[in-house]
Amino acid sequence: MFPLYGVDTNPLKIPYWMLSFDELGSLLVDRKSASNDAQDIVLRDQIYERKLENCGILKAGPIDRSEITVDSPIPFDLKKMWYDLYVDENATLHNKDWNKIAYKKENGKEIVGDPTKVIPPEFLPPGVGTSPYRSTKSNNLNTYLTKIRGRLRDKRYTFLFDVDEYDGSTRDLSDLLEDWMGHDKPITIFDLSGIPFEVMDLIVATISRIIFEGMFWGRDIEGMGRQRPVLFVFEEAHAYLPRYGNTQFVTGYSNYAVRRIFKEGRKYGIGSIIVSQRPSELDETILSQCGTFFSLRLTNVQDQSTIKSAVPDSMSTIIDLLPTLRTGEAILFRDGVREKSHYCIGVYLESYREKGLLQR
C-alpha cells in the first residue's frame, strides 16, 4: 500500500505557522489582501512577536532575530495568541494597572477559560466610573477574534490547527517532509476530498510549496534534488488550477505555486503532470509549460480548441479526430514523441487492460 494522507489511518497535517501572513490572514479572518487597517497591523505584530520568541529554540538551530519576518516559517501558538488578545480586548480590572483581572466566578472558581480548547474567559461587567474598569488594551479586534475562534473550533480544519507535534523544537518541517517522502514506496497520495472547498486553493499551494522548497534548499544534500527526482501529479486540476477570469478562487495561491514548479522545477529534479477533463478551464501559463500531451476523447469544442492551439498547424486535422476516439485510445504529441517523423501517434491501452497490466 502506498502512503495515503488525508484519511483516518494517516491524517494529513499541514502546520498553519508555515503559511505567509497574507495566507494565514485570508484563512482566519477572510482577509483578501495586504492592507494597513489597524486590526491587520495588530494581528501582524502579534504573529511577528511570537515568532521572534521562538526563533532561538528551533530543532534546526537558532535563527538570528534580524532575519525573522512575519512570513518566516517559525512555529507559534495560535490558540494562545487568540486567548491573550481576547483578554486584552475584553477584560475588566479591579484596578487600572492590570494587576488584578476581574473574572466572573462559578462555584467559587474564576472562569478563566482554556486556550487549548479555545474557550474564552468571562469577566465581571464594567462599573460606571468605579471598579471593575474597562480594558485599556482594546484594539477593536472583537470581529477578528470571533472569526479566528470559529476557525479554530471548526473540526474540518483540525489538519491545520491541531498540529502540536510540529512545534519546531521536537519536530519541524524537515520531519514533515520525511513523513511525506521518506518511505520506501514510490508514490505518496494526498487525498484532499475532505478538505473544505473554500481552502482548497490554499492547501494545494501549501503542499506544492513545501515540497518545492525542500527540493530547492536541499539540492546540494546527498539524496535530494536531482539525485532524487520528484514527479507531481495534479489530478482533476481544473478544480484548483483554473484559467484566469474563470475562477472561483480570488487569490489564486495554487496557480502561483504550481506555475513556479512548472517554470523552475526541472532544474531541481521536479517534474509535473496535469490531469484534467476540461483543458479549456486550465491556467494558460501552466498549460503552456507542458511538453507532452496525452489527449483522450474530447467532445467539447472549447477543449478541442485548447488542444489544437498547442500543436503545429499541420496536425490540426488529426486533432479533429479527438471526438471519435474509442475508450482506451489517446493521441500523444509534442516532446514525448521520440520519432521525428511521427508528430502524433495513437496509443491503444485496451490490450493492457485485458492482460491485467492496467487498471482504471
Set of cell numbers at residue 247: 475562477
Q: pLDDT value at position 342?
A: 42
List, run by run, the mean pLDDT of 10-residue segments along the chain (360 residues). 79 92 89 69 94 89 91 94 95 83 92 95 89 86 94 94 90 88 87 88 92 86 79 91 63 88 90 92 89 89 87 75 86 67 43 47
This prediction has a pTM of 0.84
Q: pLDDT value at position 357?
A: 47
Q: pLDDT value at position 291?
A: 85
Q: pLDDT value at position 36?
A: 65
The domain locations on the chain are 291-360
Set of cell numbers at residue 69: 519576518
| Cβ–Cβ < 8 Å for 339, 356 | no
Q: pLDDT value at position 245?
A: 46
